């Protein structure tokens, strides 16, 4: 079930004893857990415990989950990477999920959507599953609209498209940008395109994604032009290395899978307009060229941290190496 649908159930008062969150959008994980706590405890004091198998013994985790007191107090447990529990503790956890305590809620969190194991298969049949991977663009627009409504703002559809295009690489990024826009808009009720441009990093973000599009489509003249505008204005080479590396890594993954591209379930710091073109971009580069680009970015990153270098020179040389 999508996280928005699960939240709708919560708002109707339905709290399940076992949840299994799949996906690594940290904002959605936290948002859902806080919503569960709010609905489950209502006006009572929140009793919430986070458990990590790396930091706790397996038996201690099971003992905490299964312990009840004389007053049947409400308790909320969050267990990350539950598949790390081994042997008897793994079986005990599955047994508990089949017969949970009445006043306890257990939320299991697995960042890796694609993870498959005997334990995961079994837990999926028992627990209430919630999808917390970063949504596709259409779903991201619904989240953007939701955040604006929470700020008592009405947003025009074109403005909504722009904000999602700019910051739709994660729900957390989207929420932060909307919060900033709404704070700066002050008492203004309707948010329009001009407000997005005025109160956000619209110009910087637009220039960045246009640069990535030019680079991916091998337009050397536009890449150089936009690259120089970025590097002499709002960006540094360090700030560009992360999105550049992510884009070329994704292109290499597609190349290694013989052109097959599946929507990633992890955070990638590039906008949707670039993500959807990755398969076509990958076809334009050889595997060797992509590996060379990544190796070059790694060397630039090292130089940036160990010696003085010219950002503009570094970027132009990278473009020349890639497209020349």
Summarised one tens digit per residue, pLDDT across range 231-277 is: 877 678 888 888 899 899 999 999 888 755 555 444 456 777 788 88
What string of H, E and C letters represents the secondary structure of 88-105?
HHHHHHHHHHHCCCCCEE
Mean of pLDDT over the chain: 86
CATH of range 137-200; options 2.40.160.10, 3.90.280.10, 2.40.10.10, 1.10.8.60: 1.10.8.60
Delimiting residues of CATH 1.20.272.10 domain(s) in the chain: 203-323
For the full predicted model, state whether its pTM sits above 0.75.
no
Residues of the chain with CATH 3.40.50.300: 3-131
User: pLDDT band at residue 50, thresholds of 50, 70 and 90?
Assistant: very high
Match 């959008």 to its residue by tokens. 25
In the chain, residues under CATH classification 1.10.8.60 are 137-200
- Give the whole-angstrom CA distance, residue 237 versus residue 307: 13
Residue pair 159/191 in contact by the 8 Å Cβ criterion: yes
Mean pLDDT of 207-214: 84
CATH of domain 203-323: 1.20.272.10
> How much of the chain exceeds pLDDT 90, in percent?
42
pLDDT band (50, 70, 90) for residue 225: confident
pLDDT digits (tens, 9 = 90+) for 99-127: 999 899 999 999 877 777 888 889 999 99
Asked which of 54-58, 163-167, 260-264, 309-313 is least confident by mean pLDDT, the reply is: 260-264
Highest average pLDDT, of 10-14, 79-83, 161-165, comes from 79-83
Looking at residue 134, what DSSP letter applies?
Answer: P
Q: CB of 81 within 8 A of CB of 112?
A: no
CA angle 34, 120, 125 (to 5 degrees): 85
Helix axes 137-150, 157-167, angle to 10 degrees: 110
CATH 3.40.50.2300 fits 3-131, yes or no: no
Q: What is the pLDDT of residue 267?
A: 47
């Amino acid at each position: 079930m999508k996280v928005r649908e699960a939240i709708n159930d919560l708002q109707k008062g339905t709290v399940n004893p076992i949840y299994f969150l799949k996906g690594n959008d940290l904002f959605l994980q936290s948002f859902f857990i806080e919503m569960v706590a709010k609905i489950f405890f209502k006006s009572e004091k929140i009793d919430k415990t986070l458990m990590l198998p790396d930091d706790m013994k397996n038996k201690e985790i099971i003992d905490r989950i299964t312990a009840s007191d004389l007053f049947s107090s409400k308790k909320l447990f969050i267990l990350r990477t539950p598949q790390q529990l081994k042997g008897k503790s793994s079986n005990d956890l599955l047994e508990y999920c089949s017969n949970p305590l009445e006043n306890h809620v257990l939320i299991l969190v697995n960042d890796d959507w694609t993870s498959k194991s005997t334990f995961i298969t079994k837990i999926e049949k028992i627990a209430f599953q919630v999808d917390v991977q970063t949504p596709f663009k259409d779903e991201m627009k619904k989240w953007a609209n939701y955040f604006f409504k929470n700020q008592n703002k009405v947003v025009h559809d074109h403005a909504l498209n722009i904000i999602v295009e700019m910051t739709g690489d994660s729900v957390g990024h989207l929420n932060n940008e909307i919060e900033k826009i709404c704070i700066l808009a002050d008492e203004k009720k309707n948010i329009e395109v001009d407000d997005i441009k005025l109160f956000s990093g619209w110009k910087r973000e637009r220039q960045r994604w246009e640069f990535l599009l030019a680079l991916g489509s091998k337009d050397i003249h536009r890449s150089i032009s936009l690259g120089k505008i970025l590097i002499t204005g709002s960006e540094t080479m360090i700030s560009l290395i992360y999105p550049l590396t992510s884009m070329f890594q994704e292109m290499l993954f597609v190349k290694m899978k013989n052109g097959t591209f599946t929507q990633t379930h992890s955070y990638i710091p590039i906008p949707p307009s670039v993500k959807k073109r990755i398969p076509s971009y990958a076809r334009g580069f050889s595997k060797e060229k992509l590996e060379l680009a990544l190796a070059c970015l790694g060397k630039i990153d090292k130089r940036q941290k160990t010696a003085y270098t010219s950002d503009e020179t570094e970027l132009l040389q990278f473009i020349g190496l890639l497209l020349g």
